[in-house]
């Protein structure tokens, strides 16, 4: 095995938005008499070169591509990017001076060493954002990490072949790194080795993961997306604290570089390129009830009957593999012995306000009619001989099966037709389980092997199912509940975190994984409330319920019962308390879902996303923001002890209304029926009446809880999604420093909901209260539209807008 590095530039050329560099590597340097070329006049040395190209999409975003095997051409990407969504005019200035090439846009300067290769990205004010590492040496003068280059391996005692390409980059002493998909290890990835390669993770406590996305964010103000579907390996300061490395198992190394400098700006640009999410159906934000599993129609209907009897809000029930016949998962056909007359069963569920989710995986067991159909028609991934790639222990139930080849349009049509039949029957959503098991030597209909299809397969799998549902129900009602994912999978919502242990450690790792994937373009994610395999303690279950019901989506699931009554009366009481809160927040969550569609920003947010300049947030993975207005700190100890960090600003305890100044850590012992929940002062929080199921359409009435800051002027805003009119309504509230004047504004006075504003923590009645510039009339109690009242006991002004 030999490593070759780029050492200099032989020539360069440029066009309006692209610079191409023909580079010399150290294994060619002795054989080539080279010089760099300015323009096209300088003599070029004889011998081979390797190309590096820089293509600018915008002044702050560019694509870097290094092809180590140029005669074969660069590897064609499988990732589906929408370059047109981000392209802007770029005015490049390219100048060379004293062996250095400077490529300038309005926002960035890329500097390339010509005589001796170097690569750096700086801002217009000279701050280094990214720099290739070539100075990390040990006491012998040897490099600790490999700079830009490629690795060749001898094959069969003879020819050499390029197997890997990659580079090294500097890590600043105060730099922090996030992302890489759903990673269950420490939230800040500095110091870790990371592999972007899907595996059956068998839990959520290791580096192994189901959702790998080769995209990371740095507190230096940049994001990097490696454009490949092959295996990617990172060393983020593990071998050397001064350096990071990225290696791709391919002869082409390509990445897209995004400069923000804010994380929000980077995520918006990144998701515009890789694909924005479609807003999930509103009912999906209700409670999902599931376990492994409800084994018959009678069993399922007993669960739904008790949910309604106990008045536990719930919108979705899920059937795991038992809806299919034994040894037939996954042929997508009902076991009508266990689930007789499924059409009437589904109709009954719908009448009771339940949506139905069915489990599936993309593997078809041998010995079934579906297997024979797929084999005869070539719908399976094959081995090198062209036969179906049959493996034992592939399917649910530990029996042999083959893998549906979603690169084959005919196989896609076949699977989608089976899916559409179920959707037409009334099935609402599919849990698209698995998808991580593609062998590297498998062969696909598109000519690719598993080496490049392994990571990409979940994209094809989830898209196939998602589009089949959309064909029948429309895109507004399309949804999957997926486990495996790659770059761009966020386009097909949504995903859950796999098989967490039923413990506080499992609960914490589920949160870490969710926060990590939220920074890689996935705005919606969930987890198994209670953990997956085994039975959680009552305390763990209740604490997980609180966390789960204050997540983007909420599903109870595990190998043993996860219905609240299985854990006693107190669990039922707490479950109902937090389910009621969740359903009061549906308009809030749905408004942030609309924001996610437009920006790619997540509903559940790590604090570092909103408070990137606050060093305390850099490693904070035990709490999160739900939207921007609510701060949630799950409890991970049976004792109820929890530390809560409040970032800058002012925060109000949701339960007690006590106020706290930001920039401090609170040490709390929390009763079992509470979770630390804080409202950001200077905010508007929309609430409405709870219900047993999510109500479609805009609420008839929404209460706007306005929380002013305690001192100084308040300006609070919120973008409310008016579902009936399919538009965002901007809400504003301005309060002067003395609380004498309150000015409320509704951008669209004809918005569907009737808004009631509760302005809390007001010491005295205001002198004036205006809505859209018009004075409202003060009354003693029970205000009607155009009136307001003041409650001295609650210190609250209520105005009916």
Split at pLDDT 50, 70, 90, the class of 1 is confident
- The fraction of the chain above a pLDDT of 90, given in percent, is 92
Strand, helix or coil for residue 684:
strand
- HSE value, Cβ hemisphere, 13 Å, CA-based, for 203: 11
- Check 320, 433, 610, 650 and give the catalytic one: 433
Average pLDDT over residues 263-281: 97
Q: Give the closest residue to 760 by CA, choosing from 790, 783, 720.
A: 790
Neighbouring-strand partners of residue 463:
none
- Check 131, 136, 268, 436 and give the catalytic one: 436
Average pLDDT over residues 149-175: 91
Q: How far apart are CA 725 and CA 750, in angstroms?
A: 10
- Three-state SS letters, 336-351: CCCCCCHHHHHHHHHH
Domain with CATH 2.60.40.1180 in the chain: 605-680
Q: Residue 452 pLDDT > 90, yes or no?
A: yes
Q: Looking at residue 31, what is its pLDDT?
A: 37
Is the bond preceding residue 168 a cis peptide, omega within 30 degrees? no
Average pLDDT over residues 470-499: 97
Question: What tens digit of pLDDT does each residue of 762-779 get?
Answer: 999 999 999 999 999 999
Q: Looking at residue 753, what is its pLDDT?
A: 84
How far is C-alpha 152 from the geometric centre of its chain's CA atoms? 35
Q: Residue 688 pLDDT > 70, yes or no?
A: yes
> Number of helices (H) and strands (E), helices first, in the chain?
12, 48
Q: Looking at residue 493, what is its pLDDT?
A: 96
Q: How far apart are CA 233 and CA 109, in angstroms?
A: 28
Cβ atoms of 480 and 473 within 8 Å: the answer is no
* pTM given for the model: 0.96
CA 374-377-382 angle, to 5 degrees, is: 70
Into which CATH architecture does domain 697-800 fall? Sandwich (2.60)
Question: What tens digit of pLDDT does each residue of 327-345 get?
Answer: 999 999 999 999 999 999 9
- Check 188, 235, 247, 499 and give the catalytic one: 499
**Range list of β-strands (E), 155-211:** 160-170, 177-181, 192-196
Q: Give the closest residue to 596 by CA, choosing from 518, 538, 499.
A: 518
Catalytic residue status for 433: yes
Average pLDDT over residues 774-793: 95
Neighbouring-strand partners of residue 661:
650
Q: How far apart are CA 376 and CA 378, in angstroms?
A: 6
Question: What tens digit of pLDDT does each residue of 383-436 get?
Answer: 999 999 999 988 777 789 999 999 999 999 999 999 999 999 999 999 999 999
CB atoms inside a 10 Å sphere around CB 77: 16
Average pLDDT over residues 283-294: 97
The more confident residue out of 748 and 576 is 576
Average pLDDT over residues 533-541: 97
Average pLDDT for the chain: 95
Q: Looking at residue 40, what is its pLDDT?
A: 35
User: Dihedral of CA 462/468/469/474: which sign?
Assistant: positive
Span of 22-36, 86-100, 777-791 with lowest mean pLDDT: 22-36
Question: What tens digit of pLDDT does each residue of 595-650 get?
Answer: 999 999 999 999 999 999 999 999 999 999 999 999 999 999 999 999 999 999 99
Q: Residue 347 pLDDT > 70, yes or no?
A: yes
The token pair at 252 is: 């082409």
Cβ atoms of 563 and 527 within 8 Å: the answer is no
Question: What tens digit of pLDDT does each residue of 120-132 get?
Answer: 999 988 999 999 9
Burial of 460 (0-12, 13-18, 19+ CB in 10 A): buried
CA 475-423-604 angle, to 5 degrees, is: 50
Split at pLDDT 50, 70, 90, the class of 27 is confident
Helix axes 586-599, 569-584, angle to 10 degrees: 60
Burial of 280 (0-12, 13-18, 19+ CB in 10 A): buried
Into which CATH architecture does domain 2-170+222-259 fall? Sandwich (2.60)
Domain with CATH 2.60.40.1760 in the chain: 2-170+222-259
Domain 605-680 fold: Immunoglobulin-like (2.60.40)
Q: Looking at residue 752, what is its pLDDT?
A: 80
Catalytic residue status for 761: no
Average pLDDT over residues 536-557: 98
Catalytic residue status for 91: no
Q: Give the closest residue to 363 by CA, choosing from 324, 396, 412, 334.
A: 396
Q: Residue 34 pLDDT > 60, yes or no?
A: no
Q: Looking at residue 28, what is its pLDDT?
A: 59
Q: Looking at residue 499, what is its pLDDT?
A: 95
């Amino acid at each position: 095995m030999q490593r070759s590095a780029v050492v200099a530039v032989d020539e360069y050329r440029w066009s309006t938005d692209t610079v191409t560099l023909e580079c010399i590597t150290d294994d060619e340097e002795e054989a080539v008499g080279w010089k760099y070329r300015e323009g096209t006049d300088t003599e070029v040395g004889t011998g081979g070169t390797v190309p590096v190209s820089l293509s600018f999409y915008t002044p702050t975003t560019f694509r870097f591509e290094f092809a180590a095997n140029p005669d074969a051409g660069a590897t064609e990407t499988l990732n589906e990017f929408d370059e047109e969504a981000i392209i802007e005019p770029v005015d490049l200035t390219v100048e060379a001076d004293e062996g250095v090439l400077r490529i300038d846009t309005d926002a960035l300067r890329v500097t390339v060493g010509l005589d001796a290769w170097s690569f750096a990205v700086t801002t217009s004010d000279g701050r280094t954002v990214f720099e290739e590492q070539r100075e990390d040496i040990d006491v012998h003068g040897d490099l600790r990490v490999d700079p830009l280059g490629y690795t060749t391996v001898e094959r069969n005692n003879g020819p050499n072949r390029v197997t890997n390409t990659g580079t090294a980059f500097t890590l600043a002493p105060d730099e922090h790194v996030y992302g890489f998909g759903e990673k269950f290890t420490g939230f800040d990835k500095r110091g870790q080795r990371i592999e972007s390669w899907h595996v059956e993770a068998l839990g959520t406590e290791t580096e192994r993961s189901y959702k790998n996305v080769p995209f990371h964010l740095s507190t230096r103000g940049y994001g990097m997306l490696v454009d490949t579907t092959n295996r990617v390996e990172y060393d983020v300061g593990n071998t050397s604290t001064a350096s990071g490395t990225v290696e791709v198992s391919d002869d082409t190394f390509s990445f897209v570089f995004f400069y923000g400098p804010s994380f929000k700006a980077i995520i918006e640009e990144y998701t515009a390129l890789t694909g924005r999410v479609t807003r999930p159906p509103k009912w999906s934000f209700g409670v999902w009830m599931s376990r492994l599993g409800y084994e018959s129609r009678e069993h399922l209907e007993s669960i739904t009957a008790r949910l309604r009897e106990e008045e536990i809000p719930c919108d979705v029930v899920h059937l795991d593999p038992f809806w299919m016949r034994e040894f037939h998962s996954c042929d997508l056909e009902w076991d009508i012995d266990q689930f007789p007359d499924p059409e009437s069963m589904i109709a009954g569920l719908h009448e009771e306000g339940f949506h139905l989710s069915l489990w599936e995986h993309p593997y078809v067991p041998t010995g079934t009619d579906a297997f024979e159909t797929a084999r005869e028609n070539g719908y399976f991934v094959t081995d090198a001989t062209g036969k179906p790639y049959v493996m034992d222990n592939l399917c649910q139930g530990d029996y042999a099966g083959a893998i549906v080849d979603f690169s084959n349009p005919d196989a896609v049509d076949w699977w989608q037709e089976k899916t559409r039949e179920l959707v037409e029957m009334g099935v609402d959503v599919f849990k698209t389980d698995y998808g991580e098991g593609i062998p590297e030597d498998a062969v696909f209909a598109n000519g690719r092997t598993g080496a490049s299809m392994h990571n990409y397969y979940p994209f094809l799998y989830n898209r196939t199912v998602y589009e089949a549902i959309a064909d029948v129900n429309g895109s507004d009602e399309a949804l999957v509940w997926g486990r495996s994912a790659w770059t761009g999978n966020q386009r097909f919502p949504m995903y859950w975190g796999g098989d967490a242990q039923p413990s506080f450690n499992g609960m914490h790792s589920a949160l870490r994984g969710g926060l990590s994937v939220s920074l890689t373009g996935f705005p919606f994610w969930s987890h198994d409330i209670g953990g997956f395999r085994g039975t959680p303690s009552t305390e763990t279950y209740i604490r997980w319920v609180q966390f789960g019901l204050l997540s983007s989506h909420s599903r109870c699931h595990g190998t043993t019962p996860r219905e609240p009554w299985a854990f006693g009366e107190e669990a039922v009481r707490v479950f109902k308390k937090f389910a009621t809160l969740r359903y009061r927040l549906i308009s809030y969550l749905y408004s942030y879902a609309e924001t996610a569609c437009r920006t790619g920003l997540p509903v559940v947010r790590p604090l570092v996303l909103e408070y990137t300049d606050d060093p305390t947030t850099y490693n904070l993975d035990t709490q999160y923001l739900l939207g921007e207005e609510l701060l949630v700190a799950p409890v991970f100890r049976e004792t109820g002890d929890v530390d809560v960090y409040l970032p800058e600003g002012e925060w109000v305890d949701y339960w007690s209304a006590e106020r706290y100044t930001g920039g401090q850590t609170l040490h709390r012992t929390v009763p079992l029926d509470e979770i630390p929940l804080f409202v950001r002062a200077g905010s508007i929080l929309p609430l409405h009446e709870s219900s047993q199921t999510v109500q479609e359409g805009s609420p008839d009435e929404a209460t706007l809880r306005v929380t002013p800051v305690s001192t100084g002027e308040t300006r609070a805003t919120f973008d409310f999604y008016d579902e009936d009119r399919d538009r965002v309504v901007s809400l504003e509230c301005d309060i002067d420093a003395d609380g004498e004047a309150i000015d409320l504004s509704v951008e669209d006075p004809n918005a569907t909901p009737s808004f009631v504003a509760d302005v809390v923590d007001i010491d005295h009645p205001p002198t004036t209260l205006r809505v859209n510039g018009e004075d409202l009339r003060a009354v003693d109690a029970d205000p009607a539209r155009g009136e307001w009242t003041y409650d001295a006991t609650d210190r609250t002004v209520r105005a009916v807008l």
